[in-house]
Amino acid sequence: MSNNDVFCSAADGLPALSEAVAAASSAHPIRIEGGGTKSFYGRPVEGTPVSTREHRGITSYDPVELIVSVRAGTPIAELEDALADQGQMLPFEPPHFGSAATVGGTIASGLSGPRRPWAGSVRDFVLGLRVLDHQGREQRFGGEVMKNVAGYDLSRLMVGAQGTLGLITEVTLKVLPKATASASLRLEMSQQDALQRLAEWGRKPLPLSAAAWHAGALHVRLEGGESSVKATASMIGGDTLEPGFWSELKELSLPFFTASDAPLWRISLPTNSAMLTLDGVAPDTLLLDWGGNQRWLKGAVDAHELRAVVQRAGGHASCFTPGAAEPFTPLSPVVAKYHEQVKRQLDPDAIFNPRRLYPDW
């Protein structure tokens, strides 16, 4: 154990969690709850509520090795504050959607912020997980080094599974130092020009860490060494952008997201995808994030038509509006078969968050 380890152990609610899972059955499944800030994401779950909030605290943190282990019920803001004290951060920039957001919910949802294309996703920084299986036993997957992977990497399989494969109790994450310099810029241009410019920049070693287009302007964030950021900012030009823009984008609190109650769609596309042709969709109902890889659409559209267009472009679309009949793109029969096999192996009695992802889970 390193002398640089930092411990902040708090409440251990593992016995109560294990007992609740062991008592569950196909007739009495459980609904896993953290802070509830991402409960809108997916289908509503009927089951006995089991809260992770009492199982919290940082169990191990080694700033030199850039590794932290933290219990699932820990508020994500608490973890980020502890990392910031050491000049470090969660590279995938997770959205909170509320002050009660927990580490477990962050991992289970698998959502990443504006830095994702340049730094990596949630899954890329998960070194290991502790999970309660269907019998209430705590299982450990992965380890504390990136190379500790053999066979199926079940720790990363849990990322984005929405708690349907097991109850996450603890996670070990790789963290990174914060950049020494940062600059945010706004450049007026069309969506087409923005996509072309981003494709050109992608072939150069520029210190980009965020890029979003909306309402006739490309917004970019530069992070890295002071000389690199300064030189790139001078080359790119544009107007100074308040850095708070990126937090509002991450938390979906920009006026684009809050101005109306129209359905919100998240479209994921391959790198350097062209503009999408969607009938009846005006430019101001679109916001491009992740350099164009993630596109938000705000408005009433036909779900089947939208998903058909997106799938032809090699992507998929999810509805972020609560109550959506089909929040996630239906799986193809072949892919669904493998998903169902994994579900049966890890949750044979279907006790974990039933129907959260798909109606027959």
Q: Give the model's pLDDT for residue 2.
A: 45
Q: What is the pLDDT at residue 279?
A: 79
In the chain, what are the domain boundaries? 8-177, 181-319
Tokens matching residue 279: 């009938």
Residue with tokens 């530069």: 222
213's enclosing H/E stretch is strand 208-214
Give the model's pLDDT for residue 125: 97
Cβ proximity of 232 and 207 under 8 Å: yes
Q: How many Å is the maximal CA-CA distance in the chain?
A: 63
- pLDDT, residue 3, reads 44
What is each CA distance from 137 to 16, 134, 262, 359, in whole angstroms? Answer: 12, 7, 43, 27
Place of tokens 């896993």: 32
How high is the pLDDT of residue 119? 96
| 20-72 per-position pLDDT tens digit | 999 999 999 999 999 999 999 999 999 999 999 999 999 999 999 999 999 99
DSSP state of 329: P
The DSSP bridge partners found for residue 179 are none
Give SS3 for 116.
helix
- Which among 96, 105, 99, 135 is positioned nearest to 31, based on CA atoms? 105
* Count of other CB atoms within 10 angstroms of residue 334: 8
- Residue pair 357/33 in contact (Cβ under 8 Å)? The answer is no
Q: Are 91 and 120 in contact (CB under 8 A)?
A: yes
Residue 283 corresponds to which tokens in the numbers above? 């430019």
**Dihedrals φ, ψ of 344, to 5°?**
-65, -35
In the sheet that 138-142 helps form, which strands lie side by side, from edge to edge?
Answer: 8-9, 57-62, 67-71, 167-174, 126-132, 138-142
Q: For 276-319, how does the pLDDT look when each residue is reduced to its tens digit (9 = 90+)?
A: 888 778 777 899 999 999 999 998 899 999 999 999 999 999 99
The residues near 255 (Cβ < 8 Å, ≥ 6 apart) are: none
Strands 48-51 and 30-33: parallel
Confidence check: pLDDT of 204 > 90: yes
Q: Quick one: the chain helix, strand, coil %, rounded to 5? A: 30, 25, 45
pTM of structure? 0.91
Query: Which tokens is 164 given?
Result: 């349907």
Task: Indicate the pLDDT class of residue 10, thresholds 50, 70 and 90.
Answer: low
In tens, the pLDDT along 99-157 reads: 999 999 999 999 999 999 999 999 999 999 999 999 999 999 887 654 444 445 788 89
Mean pLDDT of the chain: 92
Read off the pLDDT of residues 79-95 as tens digits, 9 standing for 90 and up. 999 999 999 999 999 99
What CATH class is the domain 8-177?
alpha beta
Q: Which of 98, 119, 112, 122 is nearest to 250 (CA)?
A: 112
The residues facing 187 across adjacent strands are: 218
103 token code pair: 């580490």
Share of the chain above pLDDT 90, in %: 83
**C-alpha separations of 138 from 71, 351, 361 in Å:** 13, 16, 22
DSSP 207: -
Determine the residue type at 206: L
Q: How far is residue 166 from each of residues 30, 132, 280, 330, measured CA to CA in Å?
A: 11, 6, 42, 22
Q: Report residue 154 as tokens.
A: 């079940």
